[in-house]
Amino acid sequence: MSLRGFSTASARREFALLRTRPWDLAMISWVPLLAVFLIWWIFSAGLPERLPIGVLDQDHSALSRQLVRFLDATPGLRVAQQYADEGEMQRALTSGAVDAAVQVPRDLSRDVKQGRVGQIVLLHNAQLGTHSSLIQRDVRTAVATVSAGVELAVRNKRGESMKAARVSMDPVKASMVALFNTSTDYEQFLGAALIPALLHILAMTAGAWAVGRELRDRSLGGWLGAAPRWPEALAALAGKLALPFASLSAVGIAAMLWITAGRGWHPVGSVGWTLFALVVFVALSIALGAFVSSLTRSLRTALSATGFITAPAFAFGGVGFPLVAMPMLAQLWASLLPYTHYIRVQMEQLQMGAPVAYSAATPLWMVVGTAVLLAVSATLLMRAAAAPDTWGGR
C-alpha cells in the first residue's frame, strides 16, 4: 500500500470510529462551534454600558442634583439606587447590588460657593478590574464636567469672557491619542483573543485523545499494523489527525471571519495572514497533543499535560496582564507556550495593522514545529507498536 493509501485508510478508520462514538465526534464538531458562539455572544456588546452605581446625596442641593443627572447621562453609568444613609450604601456595595457608589458630602454646594474645594467620594470594587476602571473614568469625566461648568460660571460673573476663562482654567492640556482599538471594543480585543485560546485547548485535547485512545483500547496494532515503518506510521498519523484539523480549522476561520467582516470590522492588517497563522496554530496544537500521548503512552497523563499547557495559556499570553511585568520564570514559561506567539501575530495584524513582514516568522516556525512533532510522534508510535505490553495505560 502506498503512503497515500495508509493515510486515506487511517482517515476512513477514524471517521468510522467517530460515527460510532457521538461524543467523540461532538468534541471536534458542534461543541467547538457552540463554545465559540458563546464567547462571541458574551462580548458582542463591544463596550460595557450602563454599569449600575448608587448615589448617597447628603447635600441635597441644586449642584448635587446636577451631578447625579450628569452621572446618569454618562453612557457607561446608570444610577440604579439612591441611599438615605451610609449604612444602606455599604450594604448595597457588599451585596453586589451596585458596582460602585458615589457619596456627595454635606455642604458641598456651600464649600464651592465659598471658593473651597468640594470632595466627591467614589467607592468601587477594585477586584473587578474592568468594572472599576470604566466607572472611575466615567465618574471622573462627569465630575470634571460639572466642576468646569461651575468654575466657568463664576469667572463669567466676575466679568471674564468664556474663552479667556477656559484658557486660564486649563493653560496646558494633555492630548491622548489612542493608536489601536480606539473604541476600546471588548469584542475585538478580548473576544477575538479568547477564541484561539479555546481552540488551542480543544485542538490539543483532540490530538491527545485520538492517539491516546488507540493505546488505551489496545487497538494500536489494528491501526498501524504489527511492525509499521516510519513513513507508514507518519502517514497513518496524518490521516488520523486530518479530521479534527479540518473541523477545528473551519470553526476558527468561520469565527474570525464573522468577528471581522461579519461584524463590520475591517482590520488594516492582513486578515489572510492571521487566518493562515490560526490554521497553523491549530495544527501545532493537535500535533502537540498527539506527541504527548505517543511519548507517555497514557491517555490520562496526556490529557493532564494538555490541561497543564493549554489552560493557563491565555493568562500567560500578555493580553490581560503585561508580560514584562511578570516574574522572570513566568516570562520564560510564557515564551514556551504556542499561544503567546500566535496571539502576538493576531494582535499585530488585526489590531495594530503592522506590516506582514513583522509577523511572517512566527507562523513559519509553527509549521516547522508541527512537522517536527509529527515526525517524532511517528517514531514514538513505531516503537510503541513493537511493545504491545505497554498498551492499555489509562
pLDDT in tens, the chain (394 residues): 677 888 999 999 999 999 999 999 999 999 999 999 999 999 998 888 889 999 999 999 999 999 999 999 988 899 999 999 999 999 999 998 999 999 999 988 888 888 788 889 999 988 887 888 889 999 999 998 888 888 787 777 777 776 676 666 666 777 777 777 766 788 888 999 999 999 999 999 999 999 999 999 999 989 998 788 999 999 999 999 999 999 999 999 999 999 999 998 888 899 999 999 999 999 999 999 999 999 999 999 999 999 999 999 999 998 888 888 999 999 999 999 999 999 999 999 998 989 999 999 999 999 999 999 999 999 999 999 988 888 776 6
Burial (0-12, 13-18, 19+ Cβ within 10 Å), 3: middle
Q: Which of 380, 372, 377, 205 minimizes the C-alpha distance to 305?
A: 205
Q: Domain residues of the chain, as ranges?
A: 3-44+185-390, 51-169
Place of cell 473614568: 137
| C-alpha–C-alpha distance, residues 260 and 350, integer Å | 9
pTM for the full predicted model: 0.85
pLDDT given for residue 23 in this prediction? 93
Residue ranges in the chain assigned as alpha helix (H): 3-20, 22-26, 30-43, 62-73, 86-95, 108-113, 129-157, 162-169, 186, 192-216, 220-224, 230-259, 271-296, 299-310, 328-336, 338-346, 361-385
Distance CA 194, CA 128 (A): 19
CATH (residue range 51-169):
3.40.1710.10
pLDDT of the residue at 150? 82
Q: Cα(62)–Cα(183) distance, rounded to whole angstroms?
A: 34
What Å distances lie between residue 335 and 13, 300, 332, 360, 361, CA to CA? 37, 26, 5, 17, 15
Return the pLDDT at 305: 96
pLDDT computed for residue 168 by the predictor: 66
Contact 53, 131 (CB under 8 A): no
Give me 158's grid cell: 466676575
Label residues 318-337 b or e (16+ Cβ within 10 Å = b): bbeeeeeebeeeeeeebeeb
| Cα separation, 394 vs 128, whole angstroms | 41
Are the beta carbons of 274 and 342 closer than 8 angstroms?
no
Asked whether the CA dihedral 332, 335, 338, 344 is positive or negative, the reply is positive
**DSSP 3-state assignment of 56?**
strand
Looking at residue 238, its amino acid is A
Q: What is the pLDDT of residue 319?
A: 86
The single-letter code of the amino acid at 142 is A
| Separation between Cα atoms, residue 96 and residue 127, nearest integer Å | 12
8 A C-beta contact, residue 214 and residue 223 = yes
Joined together, the cell numbers standing for residue 375 give: 515526525
Strands 77-82 and 121-124: unpaired
The amino acid at residue 23 is W
Which pLDDT does position 126 carry in this prediction? 83
